[in-house]
């Protein structure tokens, strides 16, 4: 199979593609196939197209690019696959190939360059963009834009209502700090804060530190950390992802940590696969392997470590939406459920089809908004049927999507992260608590 040398890092070989035996067991687990029932928008259909393009039997055309772009990269097909096809690796390689060999329309090229290369890798630029967006949201411009209908006229109404609300203060101010364990120290961990999360999920990051320290963890937040590169890697902007990986490996490499933790499942999936960004003969590969071995999702780590902090009674009916990159990418299913059920008074009810993507998928709800909203509608129908007051998940992107869904579909449900619910149940802590259960959040 022909593989262009211009794609950096580890690349799939023919056997990786040939492992797919086209049995079709993945089909009902694929969100886009469930929506459209088109073979070209199924995992096996996309793999077949990748093989044909790789062999030069199919042009790298607009049609091929469209089928690859419509994939959420949720990796549900990996969970369903009996042959062990690593579909996430294959689709990211296909997107890297598109990035280097296919000329997208001018506006798409411009937008991708701004977001993946000129914004996300630079914390100061993220903070500046966030301040501008916060001004738009709070000075009356947002209400005016929505009220006049100009967003609908420009075709931006659906995308605009999915925008995250910018925090009053940013988590960037906590980088470089160390938070001591409460009581005997049981572990020393490093916390990966993310990029956009620093301006939209400050309270989630603070809650994560409170829960960890309350359970005997000393938490170090390295100052030189940057965006994990997940969004760039998923989009095929591979060299940017590699550059970010190098810097993060260095940023976290100096300390003796029992684990490196993240509360963002999408970030964690890529961080655990940093070694995939470098071929075995590259000098960065051993350090990438060592870094990936230390990575844990915060729910995975806490469930293994065990909760020791006292939790207050919380009378609440909750359901749980699996984050795709936690369940399918990292193979973590039970840990979040164990933590939820450890809270006294919680009534836990399973969400039907919780393993099907909610439609967030990184920037998918921006680039493929119609499909994302279709998936979200189905998700909210199932969530409403559970009669749960609160929907819990384990990824910031899912939080944004589900909160938008609760508002759009008027379900009246609150949406929180697992650690936010744990934080609200803590009986005592060194930092002030936030009421995460208020539906007005």
User: What is the token pair recorded at 240?
Assistant: 């940017």
Q: Please, which residues bridge with residue 259 across strands?
A: 189
Higher pLDDT, 244 or 137: 244
Under a CB-based contact definition with an 8 Å cutoff, are residues 52 and 61 in contact? no
Condensed to tens digits (0 to 9), the pLDDT of residues 193-220 reads 999 999 999 999 999 999 999 999 999 9
d(CA 38, CA 17): 20
d(CA 210, CA 187): 14
- pLDDT-derived band at 431 (thresholds 50, 70, 90) equals very low
pLDDT at 399 over 90: yes
Condensed to tens digits (0 to 9), the pLDDT of residues 72-88 reads 999 999 999 999 999 99
d(CA 115, CA 87): 25
d(CA 193, CA 212): 14
Span 137-156, average pLDDT: 83
Distances (CA, A) of 247 to 179, 237, 251: 23, 16, 6
Packed helices 141-148 and 123-138: angle between N→C axes, nearest 10 degrees: 60
User: What is the token pair recorded at 85?
Assistant: 């096809």
pLDDT at 439 over 90: no
d(CA 170, CA 389): 29
Under a CB-based contact definition with an 8 Å cutoff, are residues 163 and 133 in contact? yes
Closest CA to 238 of 93, 70, 101, 118: 93
pLDDT recorded at residue 2: 46
pLDDT at 347 over 90: yes
**Edge-to-edge, what's the strand order for the sheet holding 187-192?**
178-179, 217-220, 187-192, 259-262, 295-297
- pLDDT-derived band at 5 (thresholds 50, 70, 90) equals very low
Q: Cα-atom radius of gyration of the chain, to the nearest Å? A: 21
Question: What sign results for the dihedral spanned by CA atoms 316, 322, 325, 326?
Answer: positive
Condensed to tens digits (0 to 9), the pLDDT of residues 282-319 reads 999 999 999 999 999 999 999 999 999 999 999 999 99
Span 366-370, average pLDDT: 90
pLDDT recorded at residue 432: 47
User: What is the token pair recorded at 363?
Assistant: 């920037």
Reported pTM: 0.91
pLDDT at 440 over 80: no
Packed helices 298-305 and 418-425: angle between N→C axes, nearest 10 degrees: 50
Q: How much of the chain, in percent, has pLDDT values that exceed 90?
A: 82
Distances (CA, A) of 235 to 2, 30, 187, 408: 21, 19, 35, 28
Under a CB-based contact definition with an 8 Å cutoff, are residues 160 and 136 in contact? no
Span 154-178, average pLDDT: 88
Span 31-52, average pLDDT: 95
- pLDDT-derived band at 257 (thresholds 50, 70, 90) equals very high
Span 321-345, average pLDDT: 96
Span 18-38, average pLDDT: 94
Q: Which domains does the chain have, with CATH numbers?
A: 14-101 (1.10.1060.10), 118-160 (no CATH), 171-303 (3.40.50), 311-425 (3.40.50)
d(CA 240, CA 77): 27
Condensed to tens digits (0 to 9), the pLDDT of residues 44-60 reads 999 999 999 998 999 99
H or E segment to which residue 21 belongs: none
Tell me how far apart the 2 most distant CA atoms of the chain are, in Å.
64
Distances (CA, A) of 180 to 172, 216, 223, 328, 430: 19, 8, 17, 33, 10
Under a CB-based contact definition with an 8 Å cutoff, are residues 425 and 198 in contact? no
């Amino acid at each position: 199979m022909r593989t262009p040398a211009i794609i950096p890092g580890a690349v799939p070989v023919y056997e990786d593609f040939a492992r797919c035996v086209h049995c079709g067991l993945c089909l009902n687990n694929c969100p886009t196939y469930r929506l459209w029932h088109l073979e070209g928008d199924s995992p096996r259909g996309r793999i077949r197209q990748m093989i044909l393009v790789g062999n030069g039997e199919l042009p790298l055309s607009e049609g091929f690019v469209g089928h690859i772009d419509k994939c959420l990269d949720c990796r549900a097909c990996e969970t369903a696959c009996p042959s062990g096809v690593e579909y996430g690796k294959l689709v990211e390689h296909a997107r890297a190939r598109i990035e280097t060999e296919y000329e997208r329309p001018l506006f798409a090229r411009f937008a991708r360059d701004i977001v993946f290369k000129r914004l996300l890798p630079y914390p100061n630029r993220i903070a500046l963009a966030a301040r501008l967006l916060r001004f738009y949201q709070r000075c009356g411009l947002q209400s005016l834009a929505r009220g006049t209908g100009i967003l609908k006229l420009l075709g931006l109404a659906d995308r605009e209502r999915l925008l995250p609300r910018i925090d009053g203060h940013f988590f960037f101010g906590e980088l470089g700090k160390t938070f001591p364990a409460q009581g005997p120290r049981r572990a020393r961990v490093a916390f990966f804060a993310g990029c956009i999360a620093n301006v939209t999920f400050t309270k989630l990051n603070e809650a994560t530190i409170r829960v960890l320290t309350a359970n005997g963890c000393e938490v170090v937040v390295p100052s030189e950390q940057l965006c994990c590169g997940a969004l760039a890697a998923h989009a095929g902007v591979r060299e940017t992802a590699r550059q970010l990986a190098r810097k993060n490996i260095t940023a976290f490499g100096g300390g003796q940590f029992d684990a490196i933790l993240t509360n963002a499942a999408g970030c964690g999936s890529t961080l655990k696969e940093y070694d995939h960004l470098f071929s075995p003969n590259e000098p960065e590969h051993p350090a990438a392997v060592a870094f990936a071995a230390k990575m844990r999702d915060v729910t995975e780590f806490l469930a293994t470590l065990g909760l020791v902090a006292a939790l207050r009674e919380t009378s609440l009916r909750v359901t749980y939406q699996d984050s795709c990159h936690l369940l399918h990418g990292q193979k973590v299913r039970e840990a979040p459920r164990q933590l939820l059920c450890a809270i006294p008074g919680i009534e836990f009810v399973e969400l039907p089809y919780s393993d099907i993507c909610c439609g967030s998928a990184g920037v998918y709800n921006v680039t493929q908004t119609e499909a994302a909203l279709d998936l979200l509608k189905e998700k909210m129908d199932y969530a409403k049927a559970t009669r749960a007051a609160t929907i819990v998940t384990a990824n910031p992107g899912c939080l944004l999507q589900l909160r938008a869904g609760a508002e759009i579909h008027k379900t009246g449900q609150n949406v929180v992260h697992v650690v936010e619910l744990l934080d609200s149940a803590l009986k005592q802590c060194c930092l002030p608590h936030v009421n995460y259960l208020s539906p007005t959040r």
